A and B are shown apart, each in its own frame.
Chain A
């Protein structure tokens, strides 16, 4: 089954404690991205990756890092989480970086930073 898998689904952590949210896709997609969803703001792009070892900032990259060492994986790293990063996070992948192609989304990771 084609899917995007995020882990964990729920995470509560303390300010400053480094964490990683994993994302993996089994569709051999080139393009992957991370979004955060906040009430009244929709989804905003954090980082994206065009292919292995190619990453770039989205609209709200501050406080986040990513890496793309393998095509299927695109982890999101919070080196020093803060309460304003409490949010619902989605990973997405797309077959090719063309405007007509739909994105496939993971189930989401609800992060709470206290």
Chain B
């Protein structure tokens, strides 16, 4: 069975400083991994995805994530936080479900706060 652990439920940074949101996963197979962002009162938007190509994945809005198989991690980073980055972030693992199709398993989310 697959699972995702987001190590921090809340992260607070100052504008202009780096962002690190941590994610560890567990999967029986070779998974695909995603980061989604949810702004207040909005749906989920895809930030980036890893699909067994390059281990360093670049996404939208300056975010990137590195897949480290040995550490079973897929941490999300950004060099310089902006006020508009304040949102909730979900790490997601995707693999074959028992009934076929892609089963998405979500982490519990990390709330990112950006302060002036």
Interface string of B30-72 (1 = CB under 8 A from A): 0110101000011111100101000000000000000000000
Residues B44 and A90 in contact, CB atoms below 8 Å apart: yes
One of A39-47, A70-78, A79-87 at the interface: A39-47
Q: Kindly list chain A residues whose C-beta atoms are within 8 Å of the C-beta of B42.
A: 107-108
Label chain A's interface by main secondary structure. Answer: strand
Measured as residues with beta carbon below 8 angstroms from the partner, the interface class of chain A is 20 to 34
Complex Cα distance A59/B56, Å?
A: 31
Contacts of B41 in A (CB 8 A): 108
Which of B9, B44, B45, B49 has most chain A Cβ within 10 Å?
B44
Q: Please list the residues of chain B having a beta carbon within 8 angstroms of any beta carbon in chain A.
A: 4, 9, 31-32, 34, 36, 41-46, 49, 51, 90, 94-97, 99-104, 106-109
Task: Give 15 A-B pairs besides A4-B43, A45-B104, A94-B101 with Cβ atoms closer than 8 angstroms.
Answer: A31-B102, A33-B104, A42-B4, A42-B108, A43-B44, A45-B103, A50-B101, A56-B99, A97-B100, A99-B94, A99-B95, A100-B51, A102-B34, A106-B43, A107-B42
A: residues with CB less than 8 A from B are 4, 31, 33, 35, 40-45, 48, 50, 56, 90, 92, 94, 97-103, 105-108
Closest 9 CB pairs of A and B: A97-B101, A42-B106, A43-B106, A100-B51, A105-B44, A42-B108, A105-B43, A107-B43, A99-B94
